[in-house]
Structure 1
């Protein structure tokens, strides 16, 4: 697979600078990036990325154009020395006139904590390496939403690559393919250098959905390419699931799937939260696409339905932090619940500013709500360093002339340290659950 990117769009919107926050002049929008057609052999793995697949296991995913290529991963702790192998599964799909390559998924493990593994996919192509996660705190999570495939995306990925992070969370809108299927391939090539070395845990956004009037295939390409540990977490859908990392329980939710009390997602979520052991995972995070607390003019009210149904569950379970995307800007709140500040609520962070092609959402409501602490329309990424069971350090880094500039930072105390989980211990049982 070719590793260099070339430009397919030479000119985008007018290159006008603009001011969206005090004394900060942003650069103009950037061009779209696309990867050239691969010149690698048909059996060579492309678009390699990894994700968690249950305790001490990881899923390796890749694509080949060779239909006969095996879904096999060989791996070990020394370069070019593979002491273990895992046989996986494969799939493919068609959409209109497009036919995907052979999409492979193989789960490797059990793996040792904080260990570098070397691996090869399908017995061909280059050797890759990955780093497994710690089993205990501290742990560092990178966060970036609404990535797309622009020059700003490339800058964001380069900045994240500099972090000593253990895992990346992506709250929806990966490729911005919509229904243009080759864009999924170019996105896979763009993120491979980073996504093949650290787990990417993703949920879907509106731009990950194929939506053409009459012809509606929902999240066909997303589900085929980005398989997450939904079965391992007892979910019936790849669109919502949970996983544990070190001392953190992470819930990935679906903004575009039924979420009312009669829905499968609601029932699964309530059951999942009721099983959380705060002694083992003192922190709980939730990730989804459409924000609930948003003082930007963009996408106002779009998360209200999901908020009405799901927020009581998160509050009863004493979820600590919620990450969302969709709005192409950054905003951090105080601990909130039911539309206002609440010491036993969650910190809500909107971070849909990874580098999408639609540009930034520059207009905020003139009157900043009392629950809103910091807001700015810039591209960037976030870093959550969970130090121990009671303290985490959050920082957001905007892109400024291709250099990450720390613009917002705060220490977050866990709800466990405040006694809120004990106060809410019976809350889940009192919430509605349809028969």
Structure 2
């Protein structure tokens, strides 16, 4: 009799699960192993671009030849380069590994919404980039915790189809995890996309790579992925801001000091005080560890940073906050201090780009009131800011290598909702 009851209970649970969710979540895919093609030592590798202040782009690439020039030739016609810029170089060693020569060259001024052709170091292939528009509409791709697996490749293929203007990554890029040649393979993996559109990143826990008494943290990340921190008045590559079209975007460091006496906290207050919502009506923030998370994975890890910095973001009327770290997708309603608030930010966790560790399947039940949609699947997001008042967010699940739109919502800016007038405009 007990065995019969057990069987009936199992069948009932299976039927309920099937009715509630008939989607079979995918398993992790193996790490990619990219073939290495022999090139000359001065051949540019791992090319990617990022913003470097108003109307300028930073072109980054690596060569094995330490004497290769750090020059970028560029122009608006294929094979015809009317401009040339020279940049800086760096390199680093990590235990038994020595990096190639890492080149960072800023080009510009560039016209908005325009195609440029460029060549790095005077040889190698010609690359093509498109600058983002200077006004709405503008589309952002968003994907965290990328890694280098088969699911990563699928996510990158899907992002490539969405005709985005800028890619935003809230941490955990290569999953090199101290094995430095994995930074090189990641650079080769993302080059087709990252050389064509600006990739703006912040650090995650897999970028730390700190060895006590031997190596400081973030050496690989800071050397390879230089962001416009100096251009935005920051003293650290781990946090910075930039503006594009009508959006002011702040990239914070979950693994940099963030208490009220820290340099990051002071910089954030200063940066927020300079935001002009008439010029940039949309205000976005990215960091790695989510503040609002109903997954059992990494539960509560963002609490200290949230307690310190959420009042600043709330007072500044931040519209959207993106985070990674949790290997699943979740979108909140507008929330502040743990409660629904029409003038709070929408928080989106999107740490499901394709990492090697797999998905975080377990969620807390019952679902919190602030949580609007959640699913443990690989995928990416797209944010199209249509105008100063409306943006369309969609999340695209990886399903048998085809992007399936599983969540979408229209979002009104806080400027248009009257929240800016209701709250104190002075940052506390």
Find the residue that maps to 2:24 and give its secondary structure: strand
> TM-score by structure 2 length?
0.95
Q: Which residue of 2 aligns with 1:206?
A: 205
Matches within 5 A, 1:410-429: 410-428=409-427
Instruction: After superposition, give the CA deviation of every residue in 1:297-320 in whole Å (9 maximum; x if it has no partner).
Output: 000110000000010000000000
2-structure distance, mates of 1:192, 1:413: 34
Q: Which residue of 1 aligns with 2:339?
A: 340
2-structure distance, mates of 1:174, 1:20: 36
Alpha-carbon distance, 1:40 to partner:
1.1
Instruction: After superposition, give the CA deviation of every residue in 1:229-263 in whole Å (9 maximum; x if it has no partner).
Output: 00000000000000001000000000001001100
Q: Which residue of 1 aligns with 2:12?
A: none
1-structure distance, mates of 2:42, 2:190: 20
My pick for the range that moved more, 210-219 or 273-282, is 210-219
> TM-score by structure 1 length?
0.93
Alpha-carbon distance, 1:27 to partner:
2.8
Q: Which residue of 2 aligns with 1:29?
A: 28
2-structure distance, mates of 1:188, 1:98: 16
Structure 2: runs of 5 or more not aligned? 1-16
Q: Which residue of 2 aligns with 1:328?
A: 327
2-structure distance, mates of 1:204, 1:34: 24
Alpha-carbon distance, 1:212 to partner:
3.3
Alpha-carbon distance, 1:421 to partner:
1.5
Find the residue that maps to 1:218 and give its secondary structure: coil
Find the residue that maps to 2:191 and give its secondary structure: helix
Matches within 5 A, 1:2-401: 22-401=21-400
Instruction: After superposition, give the CA deviation of every residue in 1:256-304 in whole Å (9 maximum; x if it has no partner).
Output: 0100110000000000000100000000000000000000000011000
Alpha-carbon distance, 1:193 to partner:
0.3
8 A Cα contact 2:316 2:425, kept in partner: no
8 A Cα contact 1:20 1:362, kept in partner: no
My pick for the range that moved more, 228-237 or 215-224, is 215-224
8 A Cα contact 1:20 1:363, kept in partner: no
Larger Rg: 2
8 A Cα contact 2:152 2:354, kept in partner: yes
Instruction: After superposition, give the CA deviation of every residue in 1:113-168 in whole Å (9 maximum; x if it has no partner).
Output: 11100000000100000000100111000000000000000000000000111000
1-structure distance, mates of 2:126, 2:19: 44
Instruction: After superposition, give the CA deviation of every residue in 1:182-204 in whole Å (9 maximum; x if it has no partner).
Output: 00000000000000000000000
Alpha-carbon distance, 1:21 to partner:
7.1
8 A Cα contact 2:210 2:218, kept in partner: no
Structure 1: runs of 5 or more not aligned? 1-17
Instruction: After superposition, give the CA deviation of every residue in 1:73-104 in whole Å (9 maximum; x if it has no partner).
Output: 00000000000000000000000000000000
2-structure distance, mates of 1:213, 1:416: 46
Q: Which residue of 2 aligns with 1:405?
A: 404
8 A Cα contact 2:273 2:426, kept in partner: no
2-structure distance, mates of 1:283, 1:182: 38
Alpha-carbon distance, 1:213 to partner:
4.6
CA RMSD of aligned residues (A): 1.3
1-structure distance, mates of 2:149, 2:259: 36
2-structure distance, mates of 1:282, 1:227: 27
8 A Cα contact 1:111 1:132, kept in partner: yes
Alpha-carbon distance, 1:20 to partner:
12
